């Protein structure tokens, strides 16, 4: 069992969503990431890389975030799970590449 990251008392998902701002989490419709650890590629990747959150990874934004991954759920069927918009990822890629040079 994993323990989701926190910043202070604020629960943050492995991919970077602020859970406490998410309507699904606030309404009790989502138990948080730990319940999905065996299915979520973002969680698996953060654990492999030893980071608490994708946004803290030196590879962000990576291919996994750009392409997303297929996730089969009971409630919603098969999803193409992508957290961030393409424009956000493009902006982050430019910012990160400038910082590395």
Q: Measure the CA–CA gap between 96 and 17, rounded to whole angstroms.
A: 19
Q: Where are the domains of the chain?
A: 6-100
The phi, psi pair for 35, rounded to 5°, reads -70, -20
- If one counts every other C-beta atom within 10 angstroms of the C-beta of residue 89, the result is 17
Whether the pTM exceeds 0.75: the reply is: yes
Tens of pLDDT, residue by residue over 48-100, are 999 999 999 999 999 999 999 999 988 889 999 999 999 999 999 999 887 76
Q: Is 77 left (phi over 0), alpha (psi -120 to 50) or beta?
A: left
């Amino acid at each position: 069992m994993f323990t989701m990251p926190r910043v202070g008392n604020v629960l943050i998902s492995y991919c970077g969503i602020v859970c406490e701002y998410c309507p699904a989490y606030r309404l009790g419709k989502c138990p948080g990431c730990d319940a999905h650890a065996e299915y979520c590629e973002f969680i698996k990747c953060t654990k492999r890389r030893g980071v608490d959150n994708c946004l803290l990874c030196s590879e962000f934004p990576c291919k996994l975030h750009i392409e997303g991954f297929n996730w089969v759920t009971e409630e919603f069927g098969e999803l193409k799970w992508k957290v961030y918009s393409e424009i956000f990822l493009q902006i982050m890629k430019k910012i990160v590449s400038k910082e590395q040079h």
